Amino acid sequence: MTSTPKTHAALRALALTAFICVLATGNAFAGQTARWTNNGAYIEVWGHDTTGCLGFYVSASKAGTAQAPETYVYYDTYNQCTGQWIGSGFGRIANSAFKATKKSATLVFSSAGNAGFTTEGYTGSLNLKVTADGLYSSTYSGHAKTVYAGHMYQSHGSWTSNSATATGSLLGFDVGAVAAWIGEGRDKAIEIERGSH
């Protein structure tokens, strides 16, 4: 599938919604509300390793306030050649592990033994460099609302997105063919579970 601005927006909304649900740690299924504030840089990288077998998705973002910044990461990996899921992780990491400017960002941390970071399956180091490529950029400001299967996701604020390239490694696998975004989010989001299933 070719990536377009509309598919990117849909993928971003779905990924962010899934991440918010994970952060809610099950309370959303009891009719709870999850809130999220983006307050700075973010990256998204997805694609394959150099063998073409490992498929992956990684996102990192700054949140919290200027006085109390927070950094969150989510990743998921799957071996498409063997049909096996490899590992995933999500949660808060050290702010120093994700450094970003408007044009580039680095994410360097180990998912193993990291307090506040939950992993399943294979763990290891993430070492990524994301660089804007100048091919596509967009800016969004205002309200967004997505409703699906008993969930309602709403956000208000602004985002910038720039297409990018990425290099590095993920859990010991070298990054190969990828698509990436780098940008900044200054928005508040809320996820509401309208009833347990």
Q: Which of 39-48, 144-153, 179-188 has the lowest mean pLDDT?
A: 144-153
Res 105: pLDDT: 97
Per-residue pLDDT, averaged over 81-105, amounts to 94
Per-residue pLDDT, averaged over 39-44, amounts to 89
Q: Which of 35-39, 171-175, 180-184 has the lowest mean pLDDT?
A: 35-39
Identity of the amino acid at 84: Q
pTM recorded for the entire structure: 0.74
Per-residue pLDDT, averaged over 102-114, amounts to 91
pLDDT band at 159 (very low <50, low <70, confident <90, very high): confident
Per-residue pLDDT, averaged over 117-137, amounts to 95
How far apart are alpha carbons 187 and 155 in whole angstroms?
7
Res 195: pLDDT: 56
CB atoms within 10 A of CB 135: 9
Residues composing the chain: 197
State the burial class of residue 28 (Cβ atoms within 10 Å of its Cβ: 0-12, 13-18, 19+). Answer: buried
Helix (H) or strand (E) holding 181: strand 173-193
pLDDT, tens only, 6-29: 444 444 544 444 444 444 333 334
Identity of the amino acid at 186: R
User: At CB < 8 A and 24+ separation, what contacts does 65-69 make?
Assistant: 65/37, 65/39, 66/39, 69/39, 69/40, 69/95
Per-residue pLDDT, averaged over 140-159, amounts to 82
Burial 147-166 (b: 16+ CB within 10 A, else e): eeeebebebebebbbbbbbb
